[in-house]
Amino acid sequence: MTNNAVDAGARRSAAAGDAADRRPFWGRLVNWAPYQALVALLFASPRRQFVLLAVLPVIWIVTQHLGPMLQMLQVSLLDAYPIAPGQENHYTLANYARFFSESVFMMPFLRTITYSAVLTVVTMLITYPVAYYLARHVKRDHQLALLLLLLIPFWTGEIVRTYAIMILLGNNGAINLALKTLGLIDRPIPFMYTGFSVSVGLIYLTALYMLLPLYSALEKLPRNLSEAGADLGAGAWTRFRRITLPLTLEGIGSGCTLVFLISTGYYGTPVLLGGPNTTVFAETIAGFFHVAGDQWPTGAAFAVIMFFAALVLTGVFARFISALRKGDSK
């Protein structure tokens, strides 16, 4: 904490004191007997104070953050849902078995995992130089302005940005027009409704989740390490490989984890940009909820399978990254 900030804090609390004198509300409240009795009751001991602070948020996260996931898990194990009146719950693994027994589900599943993994790597390769330039070659004052510029497209929602990509890649879109004007093609290239258009759309949506962790990792990296490397005679590539890359592995790890997890969950974008041959698992899962109600357990089971697979893969990836970091520190 700098002196400046402490001074500012002190000034602020002094100002707060003045305000209390001018506005007698707080003074009156604090001296009001019922309020004092209440405070004595609530904050009698540090322990009681802590319980008071903890009880509501803990109830919230257990019922609201964990609750929906557990409920989905429970429904995925039911043989029928909703349960008929007067009936007991019957638990079964049949919904999970369905995934492995019917091969039509495997393709969308594998496609989603492959798309997300490839996109994560591509996004990382694209955004690393961008983050590097921003963190290392731009003046401090300009960094924030440029970061703000980069944030603007990301504040826009999934559907609006997907639509923008549709206009870019359409048969009469900007890219086809440019290629035609340059005389490279006679008839438009059908970019839309392919794996390519889905990929471009998903990279466009997720790039920021990669860019920000990379930027903060690169920004924290002390510059003199690289200079020391140069003094010891290391070339630019060696310095990057031996110094910059190992020290930003953590940023790479968190960026990749975020992008991978998030990109498996898009539904609107693959529906709008994809075709019949690019069905992703999100569309498969959604299908069970659009038809009759008795398909809900299967849909829930498939959602659980996807979440579990995504978690296992990111776990493996995290182990890989930490093994790399250990290997480098030796």
User: Is residue 215 at the binding interface for another protein, with CB under 8 A as the rule?
Assistant: no
Choose the binding region for another protein from 5-13, 85-93, 101-109, 317-325 (rule: CB under 8 A).
5-13
Mind spelling out the 3-state secondary structure of the chain?
CCHHHHHHHHHHHHHHHHHHHHCCHHHHHHHCHHHHHHHHHHCCCHHHHHHHHHHHHHHHHHHHHHHHHHHHHHHHCECCCCCCCCCCCCECCHHHHHHHHCHHHHHHHHHHHHHHHHHHHHHHHHHHHHHHHHHHCCCHHHHHHHHHHHHHHHHCCHHHHHHHHHHHHCCCCHHHHHHHHCCCCCCCCCCCCCHHHHHHHHHHHHHHHHHHHHHHHHHHCCHHHHHHHHHCCCCHHHHHHHHHHHHCHHHHHHHHHHHHHHHCCCCHHHHHHCCHHHCCHHHHHHHHHHCCHHHHHHHHHHHHHHHHHHHHHHHHHHHHHHHHHHHHHC
The residues in 84-113 that bind another protein, with binding defined as CB under 8 A, are none
Q: Which is nearer to another protein, 211 or 252 (CB)?
A: 211
Site string for another protein, 165-194 (x = CB under 8 A): xxxx-xxxxx--x-----------------
The residues in 263-322 that bind another protein, with binding defined as CB under 8 A, are 264-268, 271-272, 282, 285-286, 289, 296, 299-300, 303, 306-307, 310
Closest approach of another protein to the CB of residue 8, in Å: 6
Closest approach of another protein to the CB of residue 95, in Å: 13
The residues in 51-80 that bind another protein, with binding defined as CB under 8 A, are 53-54, 56-58, 60-62, 64-69, 71-72, 75
Q: Which is nearer to another protein, 229 or 252 (CB)?
A: 229
Choose the binding region for another protein from 87-95, 214-222, 259-267, 322-330 (rule: CB under 8 A).
259-267
Q: Which is nearer to another protein, 5 or 329 (CB)?
A: 5
Q: Which is nearer to another protein, 42 or 93 (CB)?
A: 42
The residues in 134-153 that bind another protein, with binding defined as CB under 8 A, are 134, 137, 144, 148-153
